[in-house]
Amino acid sequence: MLVNNITSTHPVAFLLMGIPGLEHLHIWISIPFCSAYTLAVLGNCTLLFIIRVDAALHEPMYLFLAMLAAIDLVLSSSTLPKMLSLFWFRDREINFHACLIQMFFLHSFAIMESAMLLAMAFDRYVAICKPLHYTTILTKPLIIKIGLAAVTRAVTLMTPLPFLLRSFHYCRGTVIAHCYCEHMAVVRLACGYTRFNNIYGIAVAMFIVVLDLLFVILSYIFILRAVLQLASQEARYKAFGTCVSHIGAILAFYTPVVISSVMHRVARRAAPHVHILLANFYLLFPPMVNPIIYGVKTKQIRERVLGLFLRKDLKGE
């Protein structure tokens, strides 16, 4: 089937270029990408399994962590399998509707991840600033409502985009200069009035990053104030130590976002592959490192993981 076989409004399929300028290195680039995806899948599945089977971990902090792990699995799996197929088998073609679905899942779950990091900041705020009311405030019904709110916000903000893109006529070709169906990369191929898409995409990104990050920072200002009011230095270290994993997850998620945003404005003349590699780093890094951060820094998770492997070794003997 030819990808330039045009229907009334849109092409049958797009062609993904991969990483422009580095096509000859796709096989080599696929090695770290595949390794990162494998670590992300194994790590997040392990977290979900441990939290699911251990009743002692059915607490707010770990329930939010389970939600984050599930989001990371979908976020990485929405792009990496097709990306690896492109790198390994030169399978560049992606159906038009599959492209819109990939874009919807990619951006929706990125928004959900931001919301979940905010929810985890709220969890740490309640645990440290209102410890006597922790179990009465963060009840399971409230946790479910927070999870549903995160999903509803993401779906509501992203639902208009596929319908808008479906209505455009694509007269600038069918080759997407990217490894996956990123919103603005698709918009660049469209004709007609695309300014709304440009403004809407930027507005949503700014709204999510600025609003969520602002509330995360406010939470940690209150947490820091409460920690500094503790009598002993040991108590301060212990209280703030419970936040280390979450701070690591925040840095893993928001640092690539900020770097990519700055690069787009400061280094506009940089080679396209620089921006695309940064975008891929943003997709791969948080799902890969979050299980490692929580596995290493959270005592309960670390003990369960070690116990899981030790039991396997004993059975093998």
- Residue 29 tokens read as 């680039």
Task: Tell me, yes or no, whether 6 lies in a domain.
Answer: no
Q: What is the pLDDT of residue 56?
A: 87
213: domain CATH number?
Answer: 1.20.1070.10
The helix (run of H) or strand (run of E) holding residue 175 is strand 175-176
Range of the domain at 197: 13-310
- Looking at residue 115, what is its pLDDT? 96
| Contact of 151 with 158, CB cutoff 8 Å | no
**Spatial distance between the Cα atoms of 65 and 62, rounded to a whole number of angstroms:** 5
Split the chain (317 residues) into runs of 10 and give each run's mean pLDDT. Answer: 51 93 93 96 94 90 95 95 95 95 95 96 94 93 96 96 91 91 91 87 87 94 91 84 89 85 66 86 91 83 77 55
pLDDT, residue 267, reads 59
- Evaluate whether 131 touches 242 at the Cβ level (below 8 Å): no
Residue 139 placed within a domain: yes
Q: Does residue 7 sit within a domain? A: no
> Is residue 26 included in any domain, yes or no?
yes
Looking at residue 223, its pLDDT comes to 93
> What is the amino acid identity at position 277?
L
Count: domains in the chain: 1
How many CB atoms are closer than 10 A to CB 105?
18
Q: What is the pTM of this model?
A: 0.91
Q: Is residue 315 part of a domain?
A: no
Residue 3 in any domain: the answer is no
Can you tell me the distance from the alpha carbon of 200 to that of 186, in angstroms, rounded to the nearest whole number? 14
* Secondary structure string (H, E, C) spanning 300-316: HHHHHHHHHHHHHHHHH
In 10 A of CB 279, how many CB atoms? 20
Residue 106 domain-assigned?
A: yes
Is there a domain that residue 1 lies in? no
